[in-house]
Chain A
Amino acid sequence: MADTATTHAVVLRDIGKRFPGVVANHDVDITIRTGTVHALIGENGAGKSTLMKILYGVQRPDEGAIILGGQEVQLHSPTDAIAHGIGMVFQHFMLADNLTVLENVVLGAEKLHGIGDAARKTVAELSDRYGFGLDPDQLVEELGVGDRQRIEILKVLYRGAKTIILDEPTAVLVPQEVDALFENLRVLKEEDHTILFISHKLDEVLAIADDITVMRRGTTVGQARPGSVTKHELAEMMVGSELPTPAKEGSTVTDEVQLELANVSVVDPRGRSLLTDISITIHRGEVLGIAGVEGNGQAELVETIMGIRKATYGQVRLGDVDITSWETRGRREAGIGYIPEDRHRHGLLLDSPLWENRILGHQTRRPVAKGMWIDRSGAREDTDRIIEQYDVRTPSTDTLCRALSGGNQQKLVVGREMSGAPALLIASHPTRGVDVGAQAAIWEHIKRARKDGLAVLLVSADLDELIGLSDRIEVLHRGRLVAEFDPRDVTPQDLGAAMTGAHEDAS
């Protein structure tokens, strides 16, 4: 026993954790070999993040033992876990907006290179090595989800932890970035680091993992090795039943224009061009996919359509109404639904119950408001409808949003934005963090609404999602539309090349 234990970086034995109304973990047994990449998969709310938080000392287990390098340990706080050489990337960003990239990265690890020029140099080097392109002195506030994710990854790499926990680090990264990350995980593995990797993207899991553990309803239900299992089998182990195969269907595109951007440009107060001369039209019943590496103007495009940002030049038209100067609320009332890229920053009030969150953005409309009053029972009932239709796993509508697993929070946001039959849906990474089953369900919802005339602007890092859902794909690079593709005959490789600007350079 003693000698096998030493080759096991982490052993979790009989871990149990209960929250009010939920058993998040029970009888969890996992053994993680030193120097391997161990993937943890499972449906939304299966208890993966909770388990990792227990291993990182954020949450105390109600029962069970944590054994690190053969030694049983008590982890009271992240400080203890860090002292044992554990580092973690959380599913939801843990960044201070008003600090710079550098400050966020070195915080807590100042002993390594200080907080000055030596640290700046190391951060810049790491960022270059991983192709992250981060400026150490930029304020995090100015960055989108892609860059934020890159900073989070940089944080653990900078610390050089022996055991690295990555809770859905790739959800908003494009394939090239994922490849670069995996390259480096392999190097780390060679150097005897141990990596725990959580993802809902099974291709990634099969590509990088040495061992796979599947969780369902709070406990481990199976083990697998990538060589001997298919993506399909994994999905079935996770969900516990067979996956629905997406039905092929014909085009529903009409020739009625729902959204039109005419020569839209956005220039920031410092005079930098964020979007240049964007012209797009989306028809009723059409899904327009926007491909691109995060940080190339996606956020600005979405915010301009939502009225969070104003177009410096150009026009935005909804149907045949010019809405260029409208406020966000007016736009929403006119029938625009909005799934934001970062559910925690823009989509939800974490410390409010689900039913209050259902009201956000719909506060002037039925069924959650009556005249100037909030309709509580209406809101509760409609939240129940979303919970049922979108399979949000929650004890009740009065649960605080914070207590939901990441994927379930996402399902709630999607359900809310699809409420009230919107005419146009602006969806940024709509299935970020949801499991394969729920992903298929969300796509199904969108397709059904599309058939009834919904127009969709889809921004996603998931190329399969883009290709599978879109009727047309535009590529955004450095604030310009640089290429257009027909999803029926485009390969992820073509898209990838266009996204990094290879297309532009060639022409």
Chain B
Amino acid sequence: MSTTTATPQARMMRARKFSHAWLLITVLVIVALSAVRVITGVHEIDSTGTLRAAAIATCPILMAALGGLWSERAGVVNIGLEGQMILGTWGAAYFTYYYDPWIGVLGAALMGALGGLLHAVATVTFGVDHIVSGVAINIIGLGAAEFLAEAYFKNLEGGGVKQLTGLASPTEMTIPGVSDAAADIATQHWFVVSDLAAVVAALTSRLSLLTVLVPVLVVASAWILWRTAFGLRLRSCGENPAAAESLGVHVYRHKYIAVIVSGAMAGIGGGYLALVASSGFTTGQTGGRGFIGLAAMIFGNWRPGGIVGGSLMFGYTDSLTLRSTDAVHALLLLVGIGLAVYALWRLRQGRVASAGVLGAISVGFFAWFLLTDSVPREFTGMTPYVATLLVLAFAAQRLRMPAADGLRYRRGESI
């Protein structure tokens, strides 16, 4: 009857094509990285150490992004992720000090969830503008953590008014033979093989179990949100709450749950910073990662796979800045290649104008790479944001946020 009847098979084909695309992108990234490494001779860009650092930098960002996903899928913009993360860092420190690191992780989740609850009360029950409430939560989170640190950590061993060091970390694991062998191959600097070995080595030596928990939470969240009835109801609240209500969905309840879970996820991200990324709590240790997580979520188009990609990109560049200025310079070439590939892809789609602009920018990066020997450190920090801006500018038509995201919803008013 309609002109558009795709068969289930066609749908499945499309889904399979989609996962093929991800595979292809991953392979392309590895090959490009390897090529850049061989061409420039800067092996630091994907050494075992760099990749380990990148994984550790990625996790907190990913947790914040995951928190953003939960809340925005239910239609609540949670710009308070940063504040909830900060609460998480304190919670992790406090509970780890008195109990053990895993209770500490729970404590981080709990503190973050409290921040989420506050946001839910403000936005869902009282209909406060989501941004206003989020900003307030960031301010409250920072203030509360400073106050609590001073009140509880000052007189502890390793503690001070702004910190608590010497905390125990969650268990780390090393897979004996594999780890060493892979590290060995990685230092051979073979094309592609060594790069893959570096990935394996990074994942098999001194891997914190909390790092393992993060992807588990991502997969679990994706499964809950897209494969369960509860997830469908939650997402429907972000798309059209009036329709959901008319079908008997408790919109307020689902929004509450979503925002509280969101806070808990961000809190765990904060806990990760205090327990794994560093060995203790300091005030201000989140350094805006909550906001970066939000950007990663937008970059990832409000989808789990996308936010993993976005977080990896942010985490990688973040770790690289701290390690080597040479690597940062080599990165220019990588960005240039990336943009060139993207430009070609746009060209194939017949979008000549945007392909042209992208191509020009890519040429700019190549020129920059060839004409200079080093990059001011501040610039690398900018790379992910520039990349996000580019993606937003060129792919904005395809980004799709939940239709009722950020809108005030009052029961019964809009039916």
Partner-B contacts on A (CB < 8 A): 53, 56, 58-59, 77-79, 82, 88, 90, 94-99, 103-104, 106-111, 114-116, 120, 131-135, 137-138, 142-144, 146-147, 155, 272, 274, 293, 295-297, 350, 402, 478-479
Q: A94-B415, A297-B3 are in contact. List 14 more A-B contacts (CB 8 A).
A: A58-B246, A58-B412, A59-B412, A79-B248, A90-B246, A94-B242, A107-B232, A107-B233, A110-B232, A111-B229, A137-B6, A155-B247, A272-B3, A296-B2
B4 close to A142 (CB less than 8 A): yes
- For the complex formed, measure the closest distance between the CB of A486 and the CB atoms of chain B, giving whole angstroms: 27
**Contact sample, A vs B, 8 pairs, CB 8 Å cutoff:** A90-B415, A94-B247, A96-B244, A98-B400, A116-B227, A133-B2, A272-B4, A479-B3
> Which A residues lie within 8 Å of B412 (CB)?
58-59
Which chain B residues (1-36) contact chain A, with CB distance < 8 Å? 1-6, 8, 11
- Interface size for B (C-beta < 8 A) is 33
The 8 A-B residue pairs whose C-beta atoms are closest, nearest first, are A108-B247, A133-B1, A110-B229, A96-B239, A295-B2, A94-B243, A96-B240, A79-B248
B5 A274 Cβ-Cβ under 8 A: no
Give chain B residues whose Cβ lies under 8 Å from the Cβ of A88: 246
- Bound complex: CA of A254 vs CA of B243, how far in Å? 48
Residues of B within 8 A of A82 (CB): 247-248
Q: Which of B224-282 contact A (CB under 8 A)?
A: 227-229, 232-233, 235-236, 239-240, 242-250
B304 at the interface (CB under 8 A from A): no
Residues of B within 8 A of A479 (CB): 3
- Chain B residues with CB under 8 A of A77: 245, 248, 411
Chain A residues in 8 Å Cβ range of B246: 56, 58, 78, 88, 90, 94
B240 A94 Cβ-Cβ under 8 A = yes
Query: Are A135's CB and B6's CB within 8 A?
Result: yes
Taking a contact as CB atoms under 8 Å apart, the answer to whether B5 and A133 are in contact is yes
Q: Which residues of A contact B228 (CB under 8 A)?
A: 115
Give bound CA distance, A104 to B246, whole Å. Answer: 12
B341 at the interface (CB under 8 A from A): no
Residues of A close to B240: CB separation below 8 A: 94-97
The answer to whether B414 and A108 touch across the interface, beta carbons within 8 angstroms, is no
Residues of B within 8 A of A (CB): 1-6, 8, 11, 227-229, 232-233, 235-236, 239-240, 242-250, 400, 402-403, 411-412, 414-415
* Dominant SS among interface residues on chain B: loop
Query: Nearest A residue to B233 by beta-carbon distance?
Result: A107
Quick check: A78 and B248 within 8 Å, CB to CB? yes
Could you tell me if A274 and B3 are in contact, using CB atoms closer than 8 angstroms? yes
Least CB separation from A111: chain B residue: B229
Q: Choose one: A107, A115, A137; the contact of B249 (CB below 8 Å).
A: A107
Q: Is B250 touching A114 in the complex (CB atoms < 8 A)?
A: no
CB distance from A276 to the nearest CB of B (A): 10
- Interface contact A135-B5, CB-CB below 8 Å: yes
**Is there an interface contact between A78 and B4, defined as CB atoms closer than 8 Å?**
no
**Given A96-B243, A114-B229; A108-B248 close (CB under 8 Å):** yes
Pick from B2, B232, B242, B414: contact of A103, CB under 8 Å: B232
Is there contact, CB below 8 Å, between A295 and B1?
Answer: yes
CA of A78 to CA of B4 in the docked complex: distance in angstroms? 33
Name the residue on B nearest A478 (C-beta). B3
Determine the chain A residues whose CB is within 8 A of the CB of B1 once the complex forms: 131-133, 293, 295
Chain A residue at smallest Cβ distance from B12: A137
Contact A95 B243 (CB under 8 A): yes
Chain A residues, Cβ within 8 Å of B8 = 120, 137
In the complex, A479 Cα to B8 Cα: how many Å?
A: 23
Residues of A within 8 A of B243 (CB): 94-96, 104, 107
Q: Is the CB of B229 within 8 A of A138?
A: no
- Nearest A residue to B241 via CB reads A96
Give min CB distance, A87 to chain B, whole Å. Answer: 9
Chain B residue at minimal CB-CB distance from A80? B248
CB distance from A192 to the nearest CB of B (A): 23
Rounded to whole Å, the gap between the CB of A139 and the closest CB of chain B is 10
Known: A58-B415, A99-B236, A272-B4. A137 touches B247 (CB 8 A): no
Q: How distant is the Cα of A79 from the Cα of B236 in the complex, in angstroms?
A: 16
| B2 and A98 contact, CB distance less than 8 A | no
The residue on B at minimum CB distance from A60 is B412
Distance of A114 Cα from B322 Cα, bound (Å): 49
In the complex, which residues of chain A have a beta carbon less than 8 angstroms from the beta carbon of B245?
77-78
Q: CA A294 – CA B412 in complex, angstroms?
A: 31
Residue of chain B at shortest CB distance from A135: B5
Give the distance in Å from the alpha carbon of A97 to the alpha carbon of B242 in the complex: 13
Q: Is the CB of B249 within 8 A of A97?
A: no
Which A residue sits closest to B11, measured CB to CB? A137
Q: How far is the CA of A59 from the CA of B402 in the complex (A)?
A: 27
Q: How far is the CB of B74 from chain A (nearest CB, A)?
A: 13
- What's the Cα separation between A6 and B239 when bound, in Å? 40
